[in-house]
Structure 1
Amino acid sequence: ILATISSNAFETTVPTLNVLNTYFNRPGIPVGVVKAALPDKDCSQHWAQAIIAKYPHALQLNNEAMDAVKLYRKILSVQMDKSVTVVTVGFFTNLAGLLNSKADKYSPLNGKALIEKKVKQLVSMAARIGTDGKTGYEFNIMVDAAATKKVFAEWPTPIILSGFEIGEKILTGIRLIHNEQIQNSPVKDAFSVALAKDSNTVGRNSWDQTAVLVAVRGLLPWFGYRKLNFDVEADGKNVLISGKKFTYLTFKQTPGAIAKLIEDLMMHQPVKK
């Protein structure tokens, strides 16, 4: 599984990922970052800064990480054919860059051909269907709408989308922050900071976690789906169009049951080495 990060995030993206990888005994997982000036979104709750200041990490700055598109090409080139699940819980900047990439020292294939050869599926937290049942605005699509439009139109493998209305109903974090058995955890600290900054006593919407859950464990038994297709307008609005290109999640179990599973996974504590 490859995760994509599409924000410079005021020099917190790479150190944050390295904090989490180190905590979970995987400090060597390669981290890439978009090298362009935009998109560059910070988090108003500043939980990333809090865990960077507290926990060990070898990577201190974003520029210490490899360009994300080059890293994609490097990793994909040595994988078995049709073996990789790509999961993205942010903007589509890096994936559009991968589609646009040319042959290089890692592979003689262009980006689209490399994806088609090596990737099994793309799982994304993206899109929203509003009250009209046809259109919606969703943050991950809007921030780099041109990149989203390219990926939606040209990505050559199956795509699963966890839409806004899925994660909106799945609330997590409260059990985690009140679990006294969990100490010195950057995951717990991140949620503690974020929930406190928002004066949130019910739990955070679990948009990203739903995409990761499906990427790792599949749809069943938690989710059903419907088949549909989207286009993306210049302002970032996603619009339903004819076709059945995307697998779009629906609920098979209750949001509460899925929240419990996700929160149980979030409370995993690695064995200290």
Structure 2
Amino acid sequence: MIVDTDMGFDVDDVVAVCLANTLHMNGEIDLLAVVHNTGCELGVGGVSAMNHFYGHDNITVGAWKGQFGSDCDKHYEGTSGQNQYLSKVIDNAAMRGPVTSSKDAMLAVDAYRKVLAAAPNASVNIASIGMTTNLRDLLATKPDQYSPLGGYDLIAAKVAKIVWMDGMYNFGCAAGNIGPADDCYGSAQAALKMPPNVRLVFSSKGENPDIYTGAGMQTHHPQNSPCREAMKDWCCSPNGKWGVDGRLSWD
């Protein structure tokens, strides 16, 4: 499994990445990589901290590097932007992982190509729980040191299924909040140009009953848990945005 996340805006990504690490730890999935998909350079640092907490520094991480969403502190719900909790986790020596920013990380498309090339055919599922920048770019990649296949053929050979979270919002660049707008068209390129043998599943928020998760991290995770810290700061403290019940599990 590969998780492709825009961690930083919200804590539903935190719950998803921490859950993926738990499932990997329990042998229920093989978590090959976690990649970040906006230009916020701190995002992959949050990913690395979550992996590190579970002892999974060996899991490949990668970052999208570009202008789209690169201003971590603007364009979303006031001044905090995509940095709702990232700095608090990364700046804490007890929580940070070996990768603290995109400057320390490989390109997300290289991470994709590395793990896909090494995987058995038709064995990889991808959870796309953020923007579609990485998958768009992966389709256009050329043969390299990882594989003689171009991106389209590599996906066709290795990927069984892609689950896209909330197309209406993520395919619209977070409702236009992290432009530039022309990058929003990447969603059409990513989804419409996928090989026909890859199963595509679209999960749109608002179509099913609300499910809240993550509140239990306050009592069941230790003080040095970045998962707990992010949830506490963002939603689960008395002063948090969404109360003590946790966060909607969109991701």
Distance 1:167 1:191 in 2: 23
Superposed, 1:228-247 pairs within 5 Å as none
1:27 has 2:66 as partner: no
Provide the residue aligned with 2:14 in structure 1.
Answer: none
- What SS does the corresponding residue of 2:202 show, helix, strand or coil? strand
Unmatched segments (≥5 aa) in structure 1:
128-136, 209-273
Distance 2:162 2:71 in 1: 23
TM-score (norm 1): 0.66
Unmatched segments (≥5 aa) in structure 2:
5-35, 73-79, 174-182
Q: 2:89 aligns with which of 51, 57, 66?
A: 51
Shift of 1:73: 1.2
Provide the residue aligned with 1:2 in structure 2.
Answer: 2
Q: 1:151 aligns with which of 152, 173, 190?
A: 190
Provide the residue aligned with 2:203 in structure 1.
Answer: 162
Distance 1:41 1:113 in 2: 34
Q: How big is each residue's C-alpha offset from its partner over 1:56-95, in whole Å with a ceiling of 9 and x where there is no partner?
A: 3222221111111122112111211101111111100000
Q: How big is each residue's C-alpha offset from its partner over 1:187-220, in whole Å with a ceiling of 9 and x where there is no partner?
A: 1111110013426344321111xxxxxxxxxxxx
- What SS does the corresponding residue of 1:31 show, helix, strand or coil? strand
1:194 has 2:201 as partner: no
Counterpart residue type for residue 148 of structure 2: P
- What SS does the corresponding residue of 1:85 show, helix, strand or coil? strand
CA contact (8 A) 1:6 1:39 kept: no
Shift of 1:164: 1.2
Shift of 1:166: 5.1
Provide the residue aligned with 1:39 in structure 2.
Answer: 69
Question: Percent identity of the aligned residues?
Answer: 28
1:116 has 2:156 as partner: yes
CA contact (8 A) 2:45 2:96 kept: no
CA contact (8 A) 1:167 1:205 kept: no
1:184 has 2:224 as partner: yes
1:95 has 2:125 as partner: no
Q: How big is each residue's C-alpha offset from its partner over 1:82-139, in whole Å with a ceiling of 9 and x where there is no partner?
A: 0111111110000000111112222221111110001111112122xxxxxxxxx41x
- What SS does the corresponding residue of 1:164 show, helix, strand or coil? coil
Shift of 1:41: 6.0
Counterpart residue type for residue 46 of structure 1: Q
- What SS does the corresponding residue of 1:165 show, helix, strand or coil? coil
Q: How big is each residue's C-alpha offset from its partner over 1:209-263, in whole Å with a ceiling of 9 and x where there is no partner?
A: xxxxxxxxxxxxxxxxxxxxxxxxxxxxxxxxxxxxxxxxxxxxxxxxxxxxxxx
Shift of 1:3: 1.7
| 4+ residue runs over 4 A deviation | none
TM-score (norm 2): 0.71
CA contact (8 A) 1:168 1:206 kept: no
Cα-Cα RMSD = 2.1
Distance 2:135 2:48 in 1: 21
Across the two proteins, how many residue pairs are aligned to each other? 196
Bigger shift: residues 88-97 or 182-191: 182-191
Provide the residue aligned with 1:141 in structure 2.
Answer: 171
Q: Return the index of the structure with the highest Cα Rg.
A: 1
